[in-house]
Each structure stands twice: as structure tokens, then as C-alpha cells.
Amino acid sequence: MMNFTEAGQHTVHPLMPRPNPRLLSLVIPAYDEEPIIPFLRKEIGRFLASLPYACEVIIVNDGSKDRTLELLVAWAQEDPRIRIVHLSRNFGHQIAATAGLDHACGDAIVLIDADLQDPLDVIPSMVELYRQGYDVVYGQRESRAGENRIKLATAWLFYRLMQSLVYRDLPRDVGDFRLISSKALEALRQMQEQHRFIRGMVTWLGFAQTAVVYRRAKRAAGETKYPLRKMIKFAWTAAVSFSTLPLKASIILGLIVAGLGVEEALRAGAANLLGWPTIRGWSSLMIFESIVGGTMLICLGVLGEYVGRIYEESKARPLYFVSTTLNMDSRAAREAETLPTDDAKARATQLP
């Protein structure tokens, strides 16, 4: 009997049961993660030992300035399952994640950060839903340990504003931690925009999607690479990438200014009729010069953001450049070397 995704606000999809992935790909962007590499190496080793199917770990070094690359190379030299993609410079988290996804060749691909805040032990639950037929399984945070009130408040506000004002299908409290089937990833690879908001892009794809609720852990070591300044920039990228709301807000702002003009005209007329003390023309002139001038600059700035992004997209530059790779053989060779053993094949063919 065929199952279906839940009816509601999203498209209903048939769920076709499938076996365990023949190859699972973990994609991990890393930037200046020297303190956390030893912890990551230990956790990844434990996780790989527990899997009943083959797994490759693609770590993208996003132009790190510390010893991150040195530690990754030493790790990859000892374990051929660790594959390194070293970018020519720092391109940013979303581009680094894209580079890792482009190099993955698993049947199921999991995107996860290097800080170990998203537990590896959640991945088997994602794979179980993948086996049921879901093409996207995203991790939904039930709680966030080790983060201050400002971080918690801004994250809470970001997702709710995005959902209510910008993109209503965007799940709440969901980051980039997710499993993507090879079919969904192939569709995602066709989206080549420069300013990327991967969690929104994956949601926009459609396909059968569901959530795994989990508790986010503290960062194992090091410092966050997303301070408030970067969070605000990321939120702005998300807003202008998925909505023309800022442009519409400019229209609303113009209407407000026009309303203030009408109000000022009525006030000036009432002052003349009732004999209220006024300094002729000065207050109204200064107020309107400030309001109208400020509004025009805001609207031009918002319009300029969109025009600038159109200009950047029109150049059609590559999203990133790879400086070097390690353990990254051809796709066919990687698939051949990760063929499961007979016992693993038997486990992989077991359907839920």
C-alpha cells in the first residue's frame, strides 16, 4: 500500500519506500575551525563505525587562515573516506556548502556544520525517513543550548518574520542541517544564483519534505562564525532573494510620507484660520525636506540593492574556485570503492 505525505498547506507527494543509501555523503563547510577539528575527528570516527552502509565525508575548507587545512590534510591522509575540497579563498558559508554539495555523489547527502551543535546521532533518524520515501529531511531545533538571549531572540524573530512576510513555506527554527536525496540535490544544482539562501532554496524545490525535531547542543570548541553583523547580512540576503517585499515597503513608505504631507497641509490651514502662532514656512519646509529626502534615499538604496544583485547575476561568474582536493577521485572511482560488503548489502535492502 502506497503512503502519502500529510495533506495541508504543502503539495501531497507519494512516498515510495527505498533501501538504505548505498552511499551516504556528509558535507561539512569549515572556516577557521582549528580548535574543533580534533573533536570533529573523534565524533566522525565514532559515527562512521556505527553505520551499516558506506559513507564519505566531504569537508570544504573555505579559505581558512589558521591550521584548519593542515589538520584536515593529516586526517584525510589517514582515512580515505575523508575528502577535502580546498577553496581558493573565503567565499562564505553558503557557497562553501554549495561546493560540498556539488562534489557529493551519495544517494543521500547530509549538510551539517563543523561545530557539532547539530548532533550526528540525529542522522540515522533522517535516513529512516529517507527510506520511507522523503527527499528532504530537515532538522528542526526544539532548543538551543549555550546561546545568549540576544542570539535566541534574533533567531526566533528571523524565522517568524521570514515565514509571515517573505516566504511562508519556510519552516520555523530550521537551519541548513538536513538530508537531501540525490534526486532533490540534482534539482538544487540547477539553481546557480550568486546570493544563496540554501534552506530557502531547498524548501522552494518542493519534493516530499519532513522534519526531525532535535535539541541543539553547545558548540564543542572555538567561536561562532556568525556574529550579529553577519546574521543581519544573512537575513537581508534571505529577504531580497525570496521576495520583493523591500520594494513594496518603499511604496508603503512613500504613501506614509504623502499622508504626512496631507496632514501638514491641514495643520497649516488650521493654524491660519485659528490664528495659532507659527513661523511661516520654516517648520513645514524643514520637516518635509528631511522626511522626503530620507525616504527617497531609503527607496533608492533598496532599489539599488536589487539592481546590484541583478548586475552581479548578469556577470555569470562561477560560484567558487577549487584550489586543490584530496581523496577526491572521479565519481565512478569513488562509487566503486564504496560498494558495500555482502552483509551491508543485505542490511541495505531491508525496507521498513
Domains of the chain by residue range: 3-242+318-348, 245-314
- CB distance 39 to 113 below 8 Å: no
Q: pLDDT below 70 — which residues of the chain?
A: 1-2, 7-9, 144-148, 150-152, 154-156, 158-167, 219-231, 233-236, 238-245, 247-248, 251, 258, 261-262, 264-265, 268, 275-284, 286-288, 290, 294, 330-352
Cell of 334: 569513488
CATH architecture of 3-242+318-348: Alpha-Beta Complex (3.90)
Distance (Å, whole) CA 297 – CA 293 = 6
In whole angstroms, give the CA distance from residue 341 to residue 54: 9
Q: For residue 325, what pLDDT is reported?
A: 94
To the nearest 10 degrees (0 to 180), the angle between helices 228-242 and 198-205 is 30
Q: Which residues contact 31 (CB under 8 A, 6 or more apart)?
A: 61, 62, 63, 64, 68, 90, 93, 96, 225
| Grid cell locating 121 | 546521532
Ramachandran sector of residue 173 (left: φ over 0; alpha: ψ -120 to 50; beta: rest): left
Q: What's residue 7's pLDDT? A: 67
The pLDDT of residue 178? 93
